[in-house]
Structure 1
Amino acid sequence: MSLSSATASPAPAEPLRQYGRLRTADVAVAQKVVAEVYEPHILDPVNRTRLDARLNAVQTGSLTLGYLTYGTETRITLPPNERWYHVNITLAGSSRVSREDGHRGTTAGMCSAAILLPHRSQHIDWDANAAQFALKVPRADLEGQLAGLARKQVAEPIDFDLVVNLTTPAGRGLLRCVDFVRTEWDENGILAQNADSRRHLEAMILTNLLAAATGPHQRLLQNAADMPKPAALQRALDHIHDHIRDLPTLTDLTAAAGVSARTLQCHFLREIGCTPLQYLRDLRLRGARDALVHPRSAELMVSAVATDWGFFNFGRFASLYRSVYDETPSATLRRALGADRALPSA
């Protein structure tokens, strides 16, 4: 099943079939396995009809992509989780989704997707013939991507609109991006094998998602595109991105910007919502996260990553990392190195 007619080679009838995680008619088994891959939930077949549940799933860095179908009408209740966004891209059939805040929507095959928020409970009703690509995205990664694109701090969950229109240019771009990921895994392409390539691929997925989804976050993206930043602020930002490994000080940044420390602080607070050193710290933390998610060798140690990104107090680094990513740095690294082999991961 291909998501795009532009795909060069034919896709298998069932996406990611060689990465099968689940084939069952047992409701309890289906709920358990899907919860292990995605999130704890309640699965209720309508009228207690027989399931034909199938899940094929892969882990690409911090993202989980899976093909999921239940083969009968079902209702899924997903409680708040605080850690993940879920994007359900409907490939066939349809689903009806409702949030606790009263928002409701319908998705249809190859036309729309639903975004499930980390801070809301949601109900999803699947038609018997519904099949979806389910994408699980860490909250910190998606919000960090938005912060980087908008050059603004993102401290709260992103209140995406419930349904994503996949027939718009941005929506079709998201479909092509997901189809590319699926093709790479199904055909064992270079991006499924190479960690550096996957890093760029993940950023592409997140950027396409932010572009395709509607909601208040679009104002941040539009403002970043339309409103030129003060020249002094832009010089400071350029210096940070060019010299992040050198750990520039506030004195370095004011010299690069050509303004006083007070003026630079005001620019950052007004335009970005944080101080220059907070912005630098957040970038370093994301760099450390990226290094842990995509380890360059099986011998990589958390202490080496922390030091490489300028965190010399390992206890403080671990505490800061956990406060943002809701797990320890060592847990991230263990998963990336395959100690927790719940999913195939290249």
Structure 2
Amino acid sequence: MTQVSLLRDRDVPEEPSTPAHAFSTTDPVASDRAIDALYGGAVRLFGFTRGMPLRHARYDGGEFTLDEVTLPRGVRLEVAPNSGALIFEVVAGELRFTDEEGQTAVLSAGDSALASAGLPLTLHATQARVRIVGLAASLLRRVAGEQARLFQGSVEFRYRLPMDQASRDTWARCLHFVLETVWPSQATAAALLVDACARTLAASALTTFADPGRAELPAPDDAQTPAQLKRAMWFINGRVDGDIGIQEIADAVHLSPRAVQYLFRRHLDTTPTEYVRRLRLHRAHQDLLAGNNGITTVSAIAQRWGFAHTGRFAVQYRQTYGQSPHQTLRG
């Protein structure tokens, strides 16, 4: 099978893949106008000086867009959509991600970050080639509405970065499937395939960045959450499917175990251990909602999320969700 822009390529190519719509410029005024027109003011470009090459290619799928952009070193992107979502995936080079509190992370090949209404972000480029996936709010609402058991109420993205490695890999696989389906063929892609690709991208984005049904757990991107506690929560979210203890959490955020305990108790009215248990129970709840009653078993899901005793898991589950895990699995 033909491979499209392999995720681990480290060299920035001279041109993006063959586009349906493309431009290349070294003129700052022209680049500002083009970016503004393409993203409706949701993306603003800074640090672009005359002579720098900016290349952009787009596939327009109606309710979704796929862009490949080559950014010169030193360029800064301020991203703040009014609706829908923009998801950035680094193909080559690096982007430095910064949130509104000044917390930073380096995104390298294969890493992704999301911006949506209420979740703006800043990206600094180190000569990077980037994919940008645009998802319309109407598409996201429609796909979420078809999964009412998972998404209740309005669609709200809660995370700028994938929650864990599994989420990161799932998003990457879905995006690459869509690229292989529509990018080479461009105008010849069948409407039915384009619609399937739109739904695939929306479902993957919602699963990766919205975390359906997670209303009962505080979100690490909540503006009221202190930065150190937010980092601890991100650490837990990324490793909740493995062994994790208070010392590992403390080491990750450069605090003492006592200080970590204090942060969780003061701001979340819980302990780190209880937060991990609740998060694992919630992940099990998600698996039960999405499971196939003829294939999935309660015991297997409980074991996956660290509940060795299925009976005790069932008791905790009923206390939290008001029904047995078997009832949830049966739908």
TM-score, shorter chain, exceeding 0.5:
yes
Match of 2:44 in 1: 42
1:226-267 alpha-carbon deviations (Å, 9 max, x no partner): 2599xxxxxxxxxxxxxxxxxxxxxxxxxxxxxxxxxxxxxx
Shift, 1:54, TM fit: 0.3
**Residue pair 1:91, 1:132 contacting (<8 A) in 2 also:** yes
How far apart, CA to CA, are the structure 2 residues paired with 1:57 and 1:121?
22
The runs of 5 or more residues in structure 1 that have no matched partner are 6-11, 230-269, 272-346
Equivalences for residues 287-306 of structure 1 within 5 A: none
1:113-141 alpha-carbon deviations (Å, 9 max, x no partner): 111122243321111x2110001111342
SS for the counterpart of 1:17 is coil
The runs of 5 or more residues in structure 2 that have no matched partner are 216-281, 292-321, 324-331
SS for the counterpart of 1:86 is strand
How far apart, CA to CA, are the structure 1 residues paired with 2:286 and 2:38?
35
In the alignment, does 2:226 pair up with 1:226?
A: no
Tell me the C-alpha RMSD between the 2 structures: 3.3
1:76-106 alpha-carbon deviations (Å, 9 max, x no partner): 2234x32121100000111112233555432
**Residue pair 2:19, 2:186 contacting (<8 A) in 1 also:** no
In the alignment, does 2:1 pair up with 1:2?
A: no
**Residue pair 2:46, 2:77 contacting (<8 A) in 1 also:** yes
How far apart, CA to CA, are the structure 2 residues paired with 1:135 and 1:164?
15
How far apart, CA to CA, are the structure 1 residues paired with 2:14 and 2:201?
23
Q: How many residues are paired up?
A: 217
- Say if 1:66 and 1:165 are closer, same or farther in 2 by CA, change over 3 A: farther
**Residue pair 2:18, 2:184 contacting (<8 A) in 1 also:** no
Higher relative contact order structure (alpha carbons within 8 Å, sequence separation ≥ 6): 1
Worse-matched range after superposition: 92-101 or 56-65: 92-101
How far apart, CA to CA, are the structure 2 residues paired with 1:195 and 1:86?
23
- Say if 1:227 and 1:25 are closer, same or farther in 2 by CA, change over 3 A: closer
Match of 2:156 in 1: 157
SS for the counterpart of 2:33 is helix
Equivalences for residues 101-180 of structure 1 within 5 A: 103-110=103-110, 112-127=111-126, 129-151=127-149, 152-155=151-154, 157-160=156-159, 162-164=160-162, 168-180=165-177
**Residue pair 1:50, 1:72 contacting (<8 A) in 2 also:** no
Match of 1:64 in 2: 65
How far apart, CA to CA, are the structure 2 residues paired with 1:228 and 1:208?
14
Shift, 1:43, TM fit: 1.4
SS for the counterpart of 2:146 is helix
**Residue pair 1:96, 1:105 contacting (<8 A) in 2 also:** yes
Match of 1:31 in 2: 32
The two structures have a TM-score, normalised by structure 1, of: 0.54
Equivalences for residues 12-23 of structure 1 within 5 A: 14-23=15-24
> Residue 62 of structure 2 aligns to which amino acid in structure 1?
G
How far apart, CA to CA, are the structure 2 residues paired with 1:183 and 1:205?
13
> Structure 1 vs Structure 2: percent identity of aligned residues?
15
The two structures have a TM-score, normalised by structure 2, of: 0.56
SS for the counterpart of 2:179 is helix
> Residue 152 of structure 2 aligns to which amino acid in structure 1?
Q
- Say if 1:28 and 1:208 are closer, same or farther in 2 by CA, change over 3 A: same
How far apart, CA to CA, are the structure 2 residues paired with 1:163 and 1:21?
28
Match of 1:327 in 2: none
